[in-house]
Amino acid sequence: MTTFGPSASPRSQASWPRWVQHGRAVGFMLLVSLVLLGGLGSRLAYLQLLQGERNRTLAQSNRIRVLPQPPVRGNLYDRNGKVLAGNQLSRAAYVWPLVQRNPDWPQIRERLVRILDPSQPEIQQRIERADPRSPKLIRIARDLSPAQMTALAEHRPQLEGVEIEVEQVRRYPHGKAAAHVLGYTAPITRGELIRRRDEGYRMDDVIGRMGIEAAFDRQLRGEWGGQRVAVNAAGNIERVLGEQPAQAGQDITLTLDLGLQKAAEKALGTRKGAVVALDPSSGAVRAMVSHPSFDPNVFSGTVDSATWQRLQSKDNPFVNRAVRGFPPASTFKLVTATAGLESPEFSPNTVLNTYPYITAHGLKFREWNGAGFGPLGFAGALQNSSNTFFGQVGKRLGGEPLLRWAKTYGYGSPTGIALPSESSGLLPTHEWRQDNMDRPWGTGDAVNLALGQGFTLATPLQVAAAFAVPANGGDRVQPHLRQGADTIRRSIHIQPQHLQLIRRGLRQVVQAGTGKALNVSELPAAAGKSGTAEVRGLAHAWFAGFAPFKDPEIVVVAFAEHSGGGGGSVAGPIVRKVMKAHFGVSDKKNGEGKPDSSSG
């Protein structure tokens, strides 16, 4: 039997010659190298050919930074060239956006919080808004104090990525004076930036809020500039590559007279209310006061929530009462007199009996003296501010003529002054009453309107513009605040004999009626009308006057909110003080202008 052993086979690898084994290893290594080199080459080709431009841009951004230069905001001047709002050099803290990638950023941020005293989220949010690769500095604090500057200098080695830059900070040298007219500035918010980015605003912009600062923000703000600089690996500037100078904003001169403005604020005192003074020929506003007020300088620094709450708690200090609506009371009788005289229902010779009260639509409308004044014509009714006389006029006319003439005088719509917060007031038309009260117009509504009561609302500025009509000879002027603005003036077509009768009545108010506070020898002959609005709580007091009577150069309206007392006794003296300041007369306390307790 034949026995077979293991079949013949190639020799095992271990028994191959050494040169064969070495060759196979080298081949394997070459194959691996080719694969690696191929991948690396492909990556390099991708980075160079396809992503080259992008990577060059990123590399350049890592060594080129932009140092922004904010523009200098334009100044605000009064009509005599006195600075109302200007700028002051200050220092601000900035950080580079890339700092948030620094492992030590949490410690840096905590140290900044201790020095600058904002909240940590506030700093973090401002930085997170920017791209970490952005070469632009991010401002985190403004108007640094000397103590803050010293602390930042002492901790400089531990504050990598933090820079201190000089900038302009808004300053209002007269504090609260004309605050509601001027407004204030503050850093743009994230929401505002999103809405206004197309207008050229950027994250570190300071924008106007309220008043002229807001209305003329585009003209005042200027345009940003900056430097492109090359930096080394340590972030130090090696050279300036280019510069585009910032363009300063425009200076704006206002119609305000700072001296008269301060006199009006002093005259109003601590009363809640408003004062408006304007030139009846041009509509130029010479003074505009609202109280309570605020100091706009507060907003040039960082306003924390506690400061904001403290400011808001002071009877709405940011409300400009000069352009907010209130019941105009008997100052509205100027409109009623015009509507009556210009209608076929009445003539300049009309005489009506006055009574303790009249009735309309089941309501009693009482004479303010409780007795009536006997027979009166239009001039005498203005002098005595007779409710029952003008109530009869309104009752006979109905609502349409009163509403039409009210609109002609400018009530029920904004005057067009450059103040974003201006109210249109309110004229309770037939449609308004139906929509809001769900009942038709009645005779009582016409009487209420004729007396400036009920739902009728007018702003002190509207009242001043209305009284400019009899002051300037029958033209309606548009109030304005910017010096050099075109005068917008047009006739409202009151017949001359009717206008003269109204003027005579307004003059008699000062001579022998409810405006005796202005009947003083130191002032030129004045004319005007008082008003006392019956509202919940204490009454509002009004007085509107102009002088000199023959050739008026100033209209002054004073409004005292919930002051109690009559318009002649409360608001009249305020107007007198403002007029004395305008005419350069010292306001001596010598018993002048006998107090008037009337409420007409």
Longest CA span, the chain:
163
Residue 383 has pLDDT above 90, yes or no: yes
Instruction: Judge if pTM exceeds 0.85.
Output: no
Residue 538 has pLDDT above 70, yes or no: yes
Q: Is residue 20 part of a domain?
A: no
Q: Is residue 339 part of a domain?
A: yes
CATH number of the domain encompassing residue 413: 3.40.710.10
Residue 549 has pLDDT above 70, yes or no: yes
Per-residue pLDDT tens over the stretch 102-153 = 888 888 888 888 888 765 566 667 776 666 666 677 777 777 888 888 888 8
CA distances (Å), origin 329, targets 26, 290, 326, 401, 464: 107, 19, 9, 18, 14
Q: Is residue 340 part of a domain?
A: yes
- Same structural domain, 268 and 354: yes
pLDDT at 593: 45
Residues 562, 567, 573: CA angle, nearest 5 degrees: 105
Judged by DSSP in three states, 258 sits in: helix
pLDDT at 575: 98
Instruction: Identify the helix (H) or strand (E) that includes residue 191.
Output: helix 190-196
- Same structural domain, 348 and 221: no
- Same structural domain, 489 and 401: yes
pLDDT at 169: 87
Both tokens assigned to 369: 């003296």
Q: Is residue 421 part of a domain?
A: yes
- Same structural domain, 425 and 561: yes
In this structure, of 277-291, 295-309, 493-507, the range with the lowest mean pLDDT score is: 295-309
In angstroms, the CA 424 to CA 436 distance is 17
Query: Which of 257, 79, 566 has the alpha carbon at shortest distance from 558?
Result: 566
Comparing 64 with 521, which gets the higher pLDDT? 521
- Same structural domain, 193 and 264: no
> Residue 31's pLDDT band (boundaries 50, 70, 90)?
low
User: 171 with 87: CB under 8 angstroms?
Assistant: yes
- Same structural domain, 101 and 214: yes
Q: For the chain, how are helix, strand and coil distributed in percent, rounded to 5?
A: 40, 20, 40
287 alpha-carbon distance from chain centroid: 17
Q: Is residue 8 part of a domain?
A: no
Residue 232 has pLDDT above 80, yes or no: no
Instruction: Identify the helix (H) or strand (E) that includes residue 175.
Output: none
Q: Is residue 45 part of a domain?
A: no
| Four-residue CA torsion sign, 70, 74, 76, 81 | positive
Residue 186 has pLDDT above 70, yes or no: yes
User: 156 with 186: CB under 8 angstroms?
Assistant: no
pLDDT at 235: 59
Residue 504 has pLDDT above 60, yes or no: yes
Residues 6+ apart with CB under 8 A from 430: 399, 440, 441
- Same structural domain, 220 and 263: no
From 200, 228, 253, give the residue that closes a domain.
253
Across the range 17-35, mean pLDDT stands at 60
> Residue 157's pLDDT band (boundaries 50, 70, 90)?
confident
Which percentage of the chain shows pLDDT scores above 90? 58
From 219, 234, 253, give the residue that closes a domain.
253
pLDDT at 1: 42
- Same structural domain, 271 and 168: no
pLDDT at 132: 66
Q: What is the mean pLDDT of the chain?
A: 86
pLDDT at 37: 62
Per-residue pLDDT tens over the stretch 247-299 = 999 999 999 999 999 999 999 999 999 999 999 999 999 999 999 999 999 98
Across the range 402-409, mean pLDDT stands at 98
CATH number of the domain encompassing residue 73: 3.90.1310.10
Query: Which of 343, 328, 260 has the alpha carbon at shortest distance from 529?
Result: 328
In angstroms, the CA 576 to CA 597 distance is 16
pLDDT at 27: 63
Range of the domain at 481: 258-296+322-582
Comparing 371 with 40, which gets the higher pLDDT? 371
Residue 521 has pLDDT above 60, yes or no: yes
- Same structural domain, 99 and 145: yes
Per-residue pLDDT tens over the stretch 413-471 = 999 999 999 999 999 998 998 889 888 888 999 999 999 999 999 999 999 999 999 99
240 alpha-carbon distance from chain centroid: 40
Residue 91 has pLDDT above 80, yes or no: yes
Both tokens assigned to 304: 């924390």
| Residue whose structure tokens are 């084994």 | 21
Q: Is residue 265 part of a domain?
A: yes
447 alpha-carbon distance from chain centroid: 36
The residue type of 108 is I
- Same structural domain, 93 and 113: yes
| Residue whose structure tokens are 């002649």 | 568
In angstroms, the CA 308 to CA 291 distance is 18
In angstroms, the CA 282 to CA 336 distance is 25
> Residue 188's pLDDT band (boundaries 50, 70, 90)?
confident
If one counts the domains in the chain, the total is: 2
Instruction: Identify the helix (H) or strand (E) that includes residue 447.
Output: helix 443-450
- Same structural domain, 274 and 415: yes
Q: Is residue 506 part of a domain?
A: yes
- Same structural domain, 228 and 89: yes
Residue 568 has pLDDT above 90, yes or no: yes
pLDDT at 399: 92
